[in-house]
Amino acid sequence: MELIYNHMSVLNEFIFKIYSKSSRRFNRSIFYSSNQKYIHRKAILSFKNNNCYKIEQGVYIGAFTVISVFDDNSPDAYSDSFLSIGSNTYIGENNNIRASGGNIFIGNNCLISQFVTIVASNHNIKIGQLINKQGWSKSNNFVKINDDVWVGAGSIILPGVTIGKGAVIAAGSVVTKDVDENAIVAGNPAKFLKYRQA
């Protein structure tokens, strides 16, 4: 925690906003002290508004982690994108967490290592239309990571996945299917190895 304290304001909350008139979006770099939320000044948090995220007490977000929560602009787009991070969850450096077009729930007391990607939704890919004009799919547009989960460095969690309480995702895994409680999975695609032991 020493590194983050060196960059934190003594104020309860200091918010630096970068506002883009063209996109109507703003980025926030938030520094907490008394609220017991530690967000590094070099993390990038981009939200559509103040109601699309919930970050509980004791959360740590490391430098160069990018978190984004936006909806598509098309008329029939998903409009309830949301991110929730539970209490005492650690999110390390250089992570990519994209709740845009869907919902990401990260439980309490989780460990998200470095260079992890968590994506809530895929793009639609109908033929005959440009992919970048189709927006996000409303099918399986969520990721749920339950309490006490450890996600190893370099892992990718894809849309439609639920990871059970106490599970371990080995470094470099690509998770495409649900993971049982207390299961250890590894590989691309991630496969079951064994259950945690007492």
Q: CA angle 14-151-193, nearest 5°?
A: 175
Q: Give the bridge partners for 194, in sequence order.
A: 184
123 is catalytic: yes
Per the CB < 8 A criterion, the answer to whether 31 and 3 are in contact is no
**In the block, which residue shows the tokens 């982690």?**
65
Please list the residues that pair with 25 across neighbouring strands. Answer: 20
Among 24, 9, 29, 2, smallest CA distance to 71 is for: 24
Out of 123, 177, 191, 196, the active site residue is 123
Catalytic residues: 123
